[in-house]
Amino acid sequence: MYQKIIVVGNLGRDPEMRYMPDGTAVTSFSLATNRRWTDRASGQPVEETTWFRVSVWGRQAETANQYLSRGRQVLVEGVLTPDRATGGPRLWTAQDGTVRASFEIRADSVRFIGSREDGGYSGGGDYEE
C-alpha cells in the first residue's frame, strides 16, 4: 500500500526544533490551507481553513528551522499520520470549548514557495530526507 499527501499552505507560527535522544533533529510547525467559494444559496463568500501539524526530520529539519517563519508559504509532501487511538485526526478542545481536529503530516519533502517578501523563500529550495 502507498499513501502520500501534498499540501500547499502558510505557516501559522514559527517552527520549533528539538533533538531526539539519538541526536536526530525534528522541526514542527503548523500549516494552514484556505479554500474559498461562494455559497450558492446565499451568494455570500465562504472561507474554510484546514490546519495541519507538520514534522520534519534530519538535515531537512535544521534547514526548515533556519529558513521558515510564520506566514511563509510552503509545499509539503509526506505521509498523513493518524491518531493511534482513533485512526483519524487528532482531536483537541480549543480555549472556547469547541472540539477541533488536527491533521498530522510527517514530511518527506518541504519546498519553499515564492519570495521572502511574499511569505516564501527566494532560493526555491527543495529539501528531501
Q: Judging by DSSP bridges, how do beta strands 25-38 and 73-81 pair with one another?
A: unpaired
Q: What is the CATH number of the domain that holds 91?
A: 2.40.50.140
* Residue 120: inside a domain: no
Does the global pTM surpass 0.85? no
* Residue 125: inside a domain: no
51 pLDDT more than 60: yes
Instruction: Write out the H or E segment, with its range, that includes residue 74.
Output: strand 73-81
Q: Which of 55-69, 78-92, 105-119 is predicted most confidently? A: 55-69
* Residue 76: inside a domain: yes
pLDDT of residue 22: 97
Q: Judging by DSSP bridges, how do beta strands 45-57 and 99-112 pair with one another?
A: parallel
* Residue 47: inside a domain: yes
Render pLDDT for 15-44 as a digit per residue (tens, 0 to 9). Answer: 999 999 999 999 999 999 999 999 999 999
* Residue 21: inside a domain: yes
* Residue 94: inside a domain: yes
Grade residue 126 by pLDDT with cuts at 50, 70 and 90: very low
* Residue 61: inside a domain: yes
Query: Could you identify the residue written with the cell 509532501?
Result: 77
Q: How many domains does the chain have?
A: 1
pLDDT of residue 116: 54
**DSSP secondary structure letter of residue 60:** H
* Residue 128: inside a domain: no
Return phi, psi of residue 98, to 5°. -80, 145
Domain ranges, residue 85: 5-109
Grade residue 105 by pLDDT with cuts at 50, 70 and 90: very high
Grade residue 78 by pLDDT with cuts at 50, 70 and 90: very high
